[in-house]
Structure 1
Amino acid sequence: MELRQNHTRIKVINIILALFTVILTDSRNSVSGRKVDHYKEYNFEYSSTSCRAHSATLTDFGGVGDGKTLNTKAFKDAICYLSQFESDGGSILFVPPGKWLTGSFNITSDHFTLFLHQDAVLLASQDENDWAVIKPLPSYGRGRDTEGGRYISLIFGTNLTDIVITGDNGTIDGQGQTWWDKFHKGELQYTRPYLIEILYSENIQISNLTLVNSPSWNIHPTYSSNVIVQGITITAPVTSPNTDGINPDSCTNVRIEDCFIVSGDDCVAIKSGWDEYGITFGMPTKQVFIKRLTCISPTSATIALGSEMSGGIEDVRAEDILAINTESGVRIKTAVGRGGYVKDIYVKGMILKTMKYVFWMTGNYGSHPDNNYDPNALPVIQNINYRDVAAENVTIAAHLEGIQGDPFTGICISNVTIEMAQKANKLPWNCTDISGISSDVTPQPCDLLPDQGEGYTSVCNFPTERIPIDEVEVQTCACKTKVLTRNVY
């Protein structure tokens, strides 16, 4: 009897254990696939002209960094939310590691910082529907690629104060191949977008980022003042069309420093409007300092002035420049109908390796927005100074072509050594409609630049007074933020 009772107890216990196992298994199955929220904390420092009091992360607004989910709305919502802090210490939007596909989005808040983690990649959408079409710039009258409007830039802003776009060398990938193909096939309805464009703004910093494969120009500050572009790496295939690196346009007080650019067009191009539109708008680019620039661009210039320069360009300084396998060192591009001026240009300390030209100026760069330009609008090119240049494997030392009846004047070239390539042109200097002087230049310049004798550099002196943007210093800022992550159990 007792044995039978014990046997019954054991069966009951086994049944209870089995039921418990089933209940436990069902409980586990019921939470299988459940998303559990976790937060990863990021503490980082960054160099900035302004520190911020408030922060948020893109994932707080539904951002998904899988390279497939479109994050345009997440960027817009995040910036809209952070705008409430623009008068309360400003804000920073942190983009964490991941691949963040997005269409164009606008910065709409003052005192705002966009920060990309070193493992964050912004992927520009290749769907044209994700890019709004906006009016041409008033100083251009039309788009650069086509008549009429243009696609808005990936990161765009207007009428802003104190904007910082920076990172820990995070990446912005324009995924430009489809745009380049449409350009070559003549299939573009509007001008291609740029990666970053800020208009009518002041106190802008763009720094410590890698920009790759832009559909067209990479960085385009326009109608703005107090602009710093620092520590930027820009790369695109050297055959890609119009992938200019940094193009300050009708801007005052610009500092470009410590940048590395591989491009299908000019590494730095300084502009101020196109023909009659630029003349009417009348906003020059002035007080620009370019320092420690490295450039590779086999078909274009290290630094270009123009060709759109109808609002005027003045007081541009460049030093410590390295160019490798680049078409020209410094190029001035203008034409009849441009009007405007390029004056007070100072360049020193260039090292050039494998170049077609060292110096190139032309008054015959005849691209026009339309046929309404004034043929009597002649540009003024004067006081152009180059010194302390060493170049090797050069095909043509200089091509200096002014305009008949409108010569380029005040050209000064000193302390320049150019080693010509084995298959160099027999005539290393080609000069027409220019005037100026030279000193201690090899090979000997053309007769229109008479040699003043060794050591004569007083006219070619580099300015010693600082421009206002040189007084602006960056500081070390700290940020602490949490990033939402989800794990599946």
Structure 2
Amino acid sequence: MINILDYGASGDGLTLNTGSFCKAIAAAKASGEAVLVPAGCFLTGTIDLQGVSLHLEKGAVIKGSPNREDYPIMPFHHNELGDLQALIVCLEGEDVVIDGDGVIDLNGSSFFDFSRPIIPESRVEMTQSQLEECTVEREWRPTQSIFFYKVKKLTMRDVTVLDAPCWTITVAECVNVKLTGMNIDTNLRLPNDDGIHISSCDDVIISGCNISSGDDCIAISGITNWAKPCENLVISVSRRRPAYVKCRKIQGYT
């Protein structure tokens, strides 16, 4: 595997490592290997996987930058959320794997102002505890978090994903997808932080995932391509923590 430390990365939680990830991915793409993220906290902007796999060792943390300029616009336009800006992006590819015992901290809370709650209209005065459950304002946020598009044979397993600023994991128009053993925990006051959003995909297995979300835990739609339905999905739900599956009606398809 290609170790990001060999390309100048620093796991001090302060150094921006976007360039090191880019160099490691280029080397891994040339060699056909995966990129290894060792123990440490690696602050970064957008990671463009370009079809390369990631392995996160125990103790490894990929942490999203809190700065807007570290999220360039990617060549994809989302029908609902506009220009694609995300922490981890893979536009096309085959046999892509993200796995390991590490953490992807999307750092979504850094884009929101918790002193500015969005208070809904109410006929009675809200209590302090109710106010503290309201969603909060933002100036800007990444429009996606982890985004896959037209990947064939995609696997995510065992990784913990935290604090999404928007949809946590989006899988769009992909084939042969397995999401297993994931732990997804989002801030319940951030809007639109779906755990897993499957759009226009075929042959999908979601199994053994623990998801805590302020929005849909699992959503199934055709929002990235209204003409293409999702087909052949298997979702294994834990009795201990059942997932909520939201299906959006697709034009011409129920």
One fold, TM greater than 0.5? Answer: yes
Q: Tell whether the 8 Å contact from 1:247 to 1:268 is kept in structure 2 after alignment.
A: yes
Q: Give the equivalent residue in structure 1 for 2:88.
A: 155
C-alpha distance after superposition, 1:8-63 (max 9, x if no partner): xxxxxxxxxxxxxxxxxxxxxxxxxxxxxxxxxxxxxxxxxxxxxxx121100001
**What is the Cα deviation at residue 151 of structure 1?**
4.3
Alignment of 1:376-455 (within 5 A): none
- What is the CA-CA distance between 1:293 and the residue it aligns to? 3.9
CA distance in structure 1 between the aligned counterparts of 2:193 and 2:230, rounded to whole angstroms: 21
Q: Which of the residues 127, 130, 139 maps onto 1:187? A: 139
What's the counterpart of residue 289 of structure 1? 234
Q: 2:22 aligns with which of 76, 86, 90?
A: 76
What secondary structure sits across from 2:245 in the alignment? strand
C-alpha contact (below 8 Å) 2:111/2:138 kept by paired residues: no
Aligned to 2:70: 130
Q: Distance in 2 between matches of 1:273 and 1:231?
A: 26
Post-superposition offset of 1:239: 2.5
1:106 aligns with 2:48: yes
Q: How does 1:202-351 map to 2 (within 5 A)?
A: 202-273=152-223, 278-279=225-226, 282-293=227-238, 302-306=244-248, 309-310=249-250, 339-342=251-254
Pick closer, same or farther for the CA change 1:59–1:232 going to 2, 3 Å: same
Structure 1 residue ranges, 4+ long, deviating more than 6 angstroms after superposition: 294-297
Q: CA deviation at 1:108?
A: 1.4
Tell me if the contact between 2:71 and 2:142 (Cα under 8 Å) persists in the aligned partners: no
Q: 1:294 to 1:223 in 2, by over 3 A?
A: farther
Match of 1:478 in 2: none
Aligned length: 234
Residue 12 of structure 2 corresponds to 66
Q: 1:296, 1:151 → 2: CA distance?
A: 31
Amino acid in structure 2 at the alignment position of 1:292 = V
Looking at structure 1, the residues matched to 145 and 99 of structure 2 have their Cα atoms a distance apart, in angstroms, of: 14
Q: Percent identity?
A: 30
SS at match of 1:172: strand
CA drift of 1:340 comes to 3.0
The structure-2 alpha-carbon separation of the partners of 1:187 and 1:340, relative to structure 1 and needing over 3 Å to count, comes to farther
Task: For 2:68, give the aligned amino acid.
Answer: E
Match of 2:147 in 1: 197
TM-score (norm 1): 0.45
Per-residue deviation at 1:186? 5.6
Alignment RMSD, CA only? 2.2
CA gap of 1:296–1:213, structure 2 versus 1, over 3 A, is: farther
Give distance in 2, aligned partners of 1:194 and 1:263.
15
Scaled by the length of structure 2, what TM-score is found? 0.85
**SS across alignment from 2:53:** strand
Alpha-carbon distance in 1 for matches of 2:205, 2:234? 5
Is 1:171 the counterpart of 2:116? The answer is no
Q: CA deviation at 1:158?
A: 1.1
User: Would the aligned equivalents of 1:259 and 1:294 in 2 still touch at CA under 8 Å?
Assistant: no
SS of aligned partner of 2:13: strand
Q: Deviations over 1:227-269 (max 9, x none)?
A: 0001000112322211111111110000000000111111100
Q: Give the whole-Å Cα distance in 1 for the aligned partners of 2:150 and 2:26.
A: 20
AA at the equivalent of 2:91: T
Q: Give ranges in structure 1 of 5+ residues lacking alignment.
A: 1-54, 144-148, 311-338, 343-489
Deviation at 1:194, TM superposition (A): 2.7
